[in-house]
Amino acid sequence: MELVPIPKPPNLKEGCVMNRLIDRKKNTIQLSPEVSYAHIFKIAFPVILGQLAQNVISLADTMFLGHVGETQLAAGALAAIFYQVAVMFMTGFGIGTQILIAHRMGEGLPRSVGRFFFHAVCFMLVAALSVFLLFKGFGSLMLTGMIRTPEVRAAVDEYLQWRVYGLPFAFVSICFNAFYVGTARTRTISVATLTMGGVNVLLDYLLVFGVGPFPELGMRGAALASVVAEAVGMGVYIVVSLINRDNRDRFRLFSPFPLRGFVFGKMLHMAYPIMLEYLISFGNYFIFFLMIERLGQHPLAVANITRSLYTIFLLPTWGYTATVSSLTAFLCGRKRPEEIGLLVRRCMLLGVVSVSVLILPYLPLHDLVLSCFTGDAGLRAEAFRPSIVAIAATYLMVWAQMIFNSILGRGKTGAGFAIELVTMAIYIWGIPPIRSCTAAPRWPGRSRPNGSIL
């Protein structure tokens, strides 16, 4: 137990929560180990590694395609975000499941965890099949109406026609993420996702460029590499989970449960605001990139590099936000909501320190970092300025996401959805000025707009 000095407290009524926490002799509050820096970092660090490996898929695609050509680099942004909209929509369902699992853990009911996991997997498989059939039937038609540039549209369609085969693997992996974060045992996430990331980087190199006996497949090679990597990641989750007897005996993770409508109803009631929030958030993100595509593939290529940098800068944030939502739900289950504020403040501090570790070296070494995405010196120069805006946004996101996820962890997902709606309204209101600023500047001697997204 960690002891935190406090001033002498006022007289408290008998039976008050604070009376149970205050050590009268030492004049300290006894905090549970769940809100210690060590415990927070223990949960968050494997999730950060997992986020790193998960994002390696889109980052590796961007890096390798950037060295194929500007069209492929530009198309990679739209293709990745289009796929990400579907994945993040279902990630909202996974977060809802995670909150329910963490709450049951806090209540001391681990045997209820397996039922939620089984229902989540069944729901995810049906969703994956539905999205797959929808895209195969109408995907090309949708892209025709969205993307003007024929070359970019053809490259995006080529990528996604193969990429959608990874949906079942990605959706089931979301269920495993929810289980391991909800039970505060996140090491397996890092093992699975690091393996997935390594496989993706290797196959990207072999299939995009056609190394050795492998064919040179370009966009299609990047998509195939990502699908195989997601399948391997899901396989690692299954194998590691089967080896652990605790998963079978304590959580009944792989036990078949009868499908119950009220269980799906409880999960959807918790998750649907988060799902809608993610759909609106990433849908608007996709619309923003469609607007940039109207300016030409060169600005879109610059925007893709900036998006990739922003993803890297935010990696630690997602680890701590997952920790905040999970431990908040756990503390609510334990009837200790008075410790949530301290948990959020400590996660904020750790988040700021962690993102600074990534951002501070980037500033003097930005040209070297940007050269990983493209060999075009002009593209690198144009991408640096918007990357400064991405850095400022990163620090704001650390603070905002910790508070936001503490709200979700309390189970108030409807309030979270309302906050997202307000945020998106402000975002949409700001798009016209952004568009005019993007289109205005021009380089001397060039007819196309400046690639800066500022």
How many contiguous H segments (helices) and E segments (strands) does the chain have?
A: 15, 3
Cα separation, 56 vs 226, in Å, equals: 10
Each residue's pLDDT tens digit, 415-431: 877 887 887 777 667 65
Q: What per-residue confidence (pLDDT) applies to 10? A: 42
Closest by CA to 97, choosing from 124, 136, 70, is 124
Q: Is-contact 172 124, C-beta < 8 A?
A: yes
Helices 150-163 and 297-333, packing angle to 10 deg: 40
In the numeric block, which tokens belong to residue 371?
């050269």
Tokens standing for residue 131: 């999205």
Low-confidence ranges of the chain (pLDDT < 70): 1-34, 50-54, 427-428, 430-454
| 78/155 Cα distance (integer angstroms) | 10
**Residue 62, token pair as written in the block:** 């961007």
Q: Supply the DSSP symbol for 338.
A: G
- pTM of structure: 0.72
User: What stretch of H or E contains 31?
Assistant: strand 28-31
Orientation angle between helical segments 377-409 and 297-333, nearest 10 degrees: 20
The pLDDT assigned to 120 comes to 94
Kindly state the DSSP code that residue 9 receives in the 8-state scheme: P
Token pair listed for 57: 């898929």
Looking at residue 267, what is its pLDDT?
Answer: 92
Q: How many CB atoms lie within 10 A of CB 415?
A: 14
* Chain CA centroid to CA 93, Å: 13
